[in-house]
Chain A
Amino acid sequence: MKRLLEHDLIQDFFNAPAAVVSFLVLFAVLFVALFAPWLVDQNPFDPLQLDLMDSQLPPMWLADGDSRYVLGTDEQGRGVLAALFYGARLSLLVGLASVALSLVLGIGVGLVAGYFRGWADQLITSLADLQLTIPGLLVALMLAGVIKTQLPVEIAETVMIYVVILAIGFSDWPKYARVTRASVMIESQEDYVLAARAMGASPWLILWRHILPNIMRSNIVIATVGLGVAIMLEATLSFLGAGVPTSTPSLGTLIRSGANFLFSGEWWVVVFPGCMLILTVFSINILGDWLRDALNPKLD
C-alpha cells in the first residue's frame, strides 16, 4: 500500500511540469547554499576579504563591470553573487529550523490535546488562541529591540539568528496543533487504534507508532507553505533591521542595504537577492500547491 502511494505520488509529480521545474529550482538553491564556499572565491561574511575599492561595481556585462564580480558588488565591496549564495544559506537555515520547531511543537501538543482531551486539551487550545492574537512579526521585532539594548553587541549579534528562528517557529505552531488535534480526534476512533488499545499498547506507543504516521500528510502540506512564509518573514525582519546582523547578510539584509542605493540607479544589490527570494518562495509555493492536490483525493 505504501509503495503504491509513493508510486502514484511520483507519477503525479512527473505529470506536473510546474512541480518538476520548481523542484529543480529548489534543488539548485539548496545546492548553492550548501556548497557556497566551493562555488565562489570570496567569503562575504569575512571582513578581511572585502575590498572597499571594489564597492558598488555594476554586474560584469555592464560598462565598468569587473569579471571577478559577476553580479556586481554592494557598498562594502561584497560580491552580490557570493552574498546571494551565502545569503541563501541563512534564509534556508532560518526557514527550515523555524518550520521544524513549529512542526515538532505543534504536532506534539496537538497529539496530546486530541488524544487525551480534558484539561490538557483546553489549556493547549487556549494557548493556541492566545498565540494567534500575537503576530510573530511583532514578537520578533520587540525581542530584537529588547536584546539590542540588553546584551553587548557581539553577543546580541550571535543570538539574533536564534531569536529570529524562535520567534518565527513559535508564532506558527498553532496551525499544526489545530490540524493535528482535529485529525487525532478522528483517527483515535478508528478500528486500528481501538485494536491497539485492546491489545494493551500504551497511549504513547499508539500515538507514536499508529496515529502519527496517519496525520503527517496534512502537516506536510502546511509545513511546505509555512517554509515559504518563514523565509519571507526572515527576509522582512532582516530588511527592517531586526533580523540577522549586517556582518552576515541574509537576502533581506542585502536588500535593505541595496534599497538605499535604488534611487541612484544601482539596482543590482536589490534586484538579484529579490529575484532569488521570490524564485525560492514561488517554487516552494508551487510545490506546496501540487502536494496539497496530490495528497488530497477529495478534490477532482
Chain B
Amino acid sequence: MINKILARLIQSVFVLLATGLVAFAIFSFTPDPVDNLAGEYATIEDRAALRAELGYDRPFLIQYGEYMIKFVQGDLGKSLRTNELVSQLISERAPATLELVLVSTIITLSLGIWLGIFTGINRRGKRTQLILSTSLLGVSIPTFLMGLLAIYYGSVQFGWLPASGRKVVETWLWDSSLISLDGWRSIIMPAATLSLFNVGLFIRLVRADVLEIRTMDYIKFARARGFSEQRINHNHVLPNAVMPVITVAALNIGTMIAFSLITEAVFQWPGMGLMFLQAISFSDFPIMSAYFLLVATIFVVLNLLADILLSVLDPRIRRGES
C-alpha cells in the first residue's frame, strides 16, 4: 500500500508541475506590463532596467522554475495593479470562500446522502418521484441564475435576507461570518445557491449506489436469513453506499472552491473567486496565476487524500486487490 501511495504522490507532483506550466504559459501571453508601469516619459534604458528588475528578460524555463519554487515557498508575487502581496490578498480573501464552501458542503452532504438513501430504499412511490424530479431540475438550473432568483425573491420581493455582501465578526484567527446572526443571514443564500447543483448530483449518486448494492448477493443472503429490511438497510446497505461518496465529496470540495466564483460574483461575496474575476478584468497576471495554481493544487491534494482515505477504509484495496 505504501508503494501505491508513493506512486500516486509522484504522479500528483507531475500533474502539479504540468498545471504550473500551463498557468505560466498562458500568462506569458499577457501584454508586457512594463509599458504601463514605466510611464510615458521613460527612456528605453529605463524600460530595460525595469524589465530586468521584474525578471522578464530571462529564458522562459528559468522564469517558470523560479515561479514554481516561489509558489511552493508561499511567495506569489505582487499585484500589478495595487502592488500588494498576492499571498496577503489571498489570505484575506480565503476565509470568505472557505466558509462558503464549508456551509455548502454540509448542506450538500446532509441533504444529498439523506435524500439519496431515502429514494434508493423506497425505489418507487410519489415522494421518491418528486425528489428525483426536483433533483433533476436542480442540476438543470445554472448557479448564477439560481443566485439571481434567490436575490429577486429572497431580497427584492420579500426582503428576508441581504442581497449581497458578507457580514463578519473579527476573531483572533480570521474574520468569520459563522458566529453572528447577521453573518449567517448573509451566508445562507450564497451557500444554498452554491450547493443546489451538488445536492441534485449527490442524491442521484447515492441513490445509484444504494440501488446497486441492493442487488448484491450478500443482501440477498441477509434477506434469506430473515433479517428485517431495516436491519439490512442499516447494517449492510448504508456502510457500503457511503464509501464511494467519500471520494466524490472530496473532489467536490475542489470543484466547489473553483465554482464558488460564480456565486461570489452574483452575491458580491468577497472571496478568492471574486478576486480572480476582478484580476481578470484588470489583467492582473500574478493574482490570476496564483489563484489558478492554488485551485489546481487544492484539487490534486484532495484527490490524493481521497485515494489514500479510500484505500485505508476499504479492506479490498488495503490488501492490494483491485
Contacts and interface: CB of A to CB of B under 8 A. Distances in A.
Contacts of B300: 133
Interface string B11-33: 10011001100100011011100
Contacts of A232: 140, 142
A123 to B, nearest CB: 12
B98 interface: no
B106 interface: no
B288 A145 contact: yes
A269 to B, nearest CB: 11
Interface stretch (A54-62, A76-84, A282-290): A282-290
Contacts of A146: 26-27, 29-30, 283
A134 B139 contact: no
Interface in A210-226: none
A138 B152 contact: no
Size class of the A contact interface (CB-based, 8 Å): 35 or more
Interface string A220-242: 00000000100010011001111
Residue among A138, A262, A263 facing the most chain B CB atoms (10 A cut-off):
A138
Residue among B137, B140, B283, B296 facing the most chain A CB atoms (10 A cut-off):
B140
The main secondary structure of chain A at its interface with chain B is helix
A255 B265 CA distance: 14
Interface string A250-289: 0010010001001101010010001001100110111001
Contacts of B143: 236
Interface string B207-228: 0000100000000000000000
B140 A281 contact: yes
Interface in B227-271: 255, 258-259, 261-262, 265-266
Interface in B37-96: none
B145 interface: yes
Given A259-B148, A263-B156, A277-B145, A285 B258 contact: no
A262 B145 contact: no
Interface string A147-162: 0111000000000000
A149 B258 contact: no
Size class of the B contact interface (CB-based, 8 Å): 35 or more
Contacts of B279: 145
A252 B262 CA distance: 13
Interface in A147-196: 148-150
The main secondary structure of chain B at its interface with chain A is helix
A133 B148 contact: no
A137 interface: yes
Given A142-B288, A149-B31, A267-B152, A135 B255 contact: yes
A11 to B, nearest CB: 21
Given A133-B299, A135-B258, A149-B30, A255 B148 contact: yes
Nearest to B163: A263
Interface string A94-132: 000000000000000000000000000000001001100
Contact of B136 (A241, A252, A255, A286): A286
Nearest to B149: A274
Contacts of A277: 142, 145
A144 interface: yes
B137 A282 contact: yes
Interface string B130-174: 000000110111111100110110001000000100000000000
Nearest to A133: B299
Given A130-B15, A255-B145, A278-B145, A141 B30 contact: no
Interface of B: 11, 14-15, 18-19, 22, 26-27, 29-31, 136-137, 139-145, 148-149, 151-152, 156, 163, 211, 255, 258-259, 261-262, 265-266, 276-277, 279-281, 283, 288, 292, 295-296, 299-300, 303
14 contacts: A133-B300, A133-B303, A134-B22, A135-B258, A135-B259, A142-B288, A145-B280, A148-B283, A150-B30, A232-B140, A236-B143, A259-B148, A282-B140, A284-B140
